Structure 1
Amino acid sequence: VDRGLMQKVLVSEGATIIKAAGNLAYPLGLRTEKLARQIETLAKANGLPFETIAGAGADPLTMLGAGYRNNVPVLVSIPQLVGGGAVGLALADSISITERSTKIARMLGSASMIIESAVALTQEIHDGPFERYTGHGIWADWEGYYTYSLAGKTLVRIDLDHNLELAWQKQRESNIVQEAIAKGLPKTKLTGVPFRMEMSGFSRLPGSIPIIADIGTIWPILAWQVSQRLELKLDYISYPQSTVEGQLMRDWIVKEVKFADREKMFAAFRK
């Protein structure tokens, strides 16, 4: 660790930012980059996804850590592999794209409800290579690959873009999105809605539900309502970061949630 560099940064002018994700900080960002490549090597040696190896060393309060300890799969979707520096590359290289798509397809196929939250691109759900309802998986099914269908599933998307709800509403009122696709017409011109790639697939699914809200605001509400229905007592609940409670929560995370433990990963999977 270059403590001289750290001291220069600490005395420099500028805002202090606590960022839970990303690879830009020093020394944590550089450590994360190097650790990602070590996890990749361990994943390949064991024939497992990157996320499984990382979960063994992750704090139990994180998604990876909780998933590993409860034998619940946690997988990064393929469009989300871009943007994480070496972490995204190591994730992508740990298992093949086809294997990752198949594992994700099995997860989606077993789910009765799918929630899209804080993901920009979701073609893997609506237009995935193994999904039959929107059509892209028909030949995979023909060739004997595992496939699944979104028919009969509830698909919830939390998004800030009001155009998503507008496209969804137009489809409900006049079937205009499906007709545009069936006739090979440009959806944006026909509907008057600036389409993002994932909007058409989402809008056409009968069980889709758009929620136009900030995820930091809506998730605590959803979690609380679900806990009430299930008569569960929550030990912890998040708050929007813009609130006092949210700032206290972020400070608590920084103090209480531990870094990924390299030694635990190697102890669990080194052969």
Structure 2
Amino acid sequence: MYHPFSVIETIKTSWDILRKNFIPLIIYSVITLLIYKGVKIVTFIIFPDDDELLNNLTQIFAQMIVQTYLTLSFYKLILTLMDRAYYEFEFKDILPSLRMAFNFIVICIGFGILIAFLIFINLVLSRQNIVFSEVFTVIATLGLLYMLLRSIFCVCFIIDDDSKPLESLKQSFEITKDNFFKTLGIALSILVIMIITLIPINIIITFLHPSADADDYVFVLGYYAWFAIAFPAVQVIIMVTYRKLVYSHLDVDDDIAETN
């Protein structure tokens, strides 16, 4: 039976999945964070932070590769938990392929080039007329946010359909075509959830250590706790939204678990 996309139903489904898989998702998010921090330390030791362009580029590239695999593996884990709710799965089932990582990196580099190009144009305009520069900044920011919102599900298609970069972007734009404001509603809901999860942690940090600053261990532990809670919640909502949007374009039931 066909069901149109609904923000409320998407949040409810996301909460149900998160509630059933809360422990493994939190554990995996903590492991993800520790691995990324460990890689940053290793790359800093091997390639000291200096003025050499090659060392800096090597650090950035190594961290990008690790971050890509960690992000994609987290998405695959969520999809696996959704699709195999009643089946056992192995660690290899959540590992993304090299092609998936490459496709994701290509998209990230593409957006990076676009942002750099917009910054360059803004610098040129700022030397000509400050008013033009400010107007361009507003237009470019809104346009960039629009593109990011329409293309947010490209990573889902890379993981779920093994799509190529341009193909995944096209697919993401297609499923959000008639649901832009609902997708925006999901994005705002994610922002609210991130704020809500941050408030109690901030209160606890203030209560335990009022003078904590950015370098204080209490602040760092608080950030880890917030990341472990907020990151899985955000990723689950994105994946469920992706599945709901896909099924809303098909004349089939919108059950997000393929095996149900």
Normalized per residue, the structure richer in strand is: 1
Q: State the TM bucket, normalised to the shorter chain.
A: under 0.3
Larger radius of gyration between Structure 1 and Structure 2: 1
TM-score calculated relative to the size of structure 2: 0.25
TM-score calculated relative to the size of structure 1: 0.24
Normalized per residue, the structure richer in helix is: 2
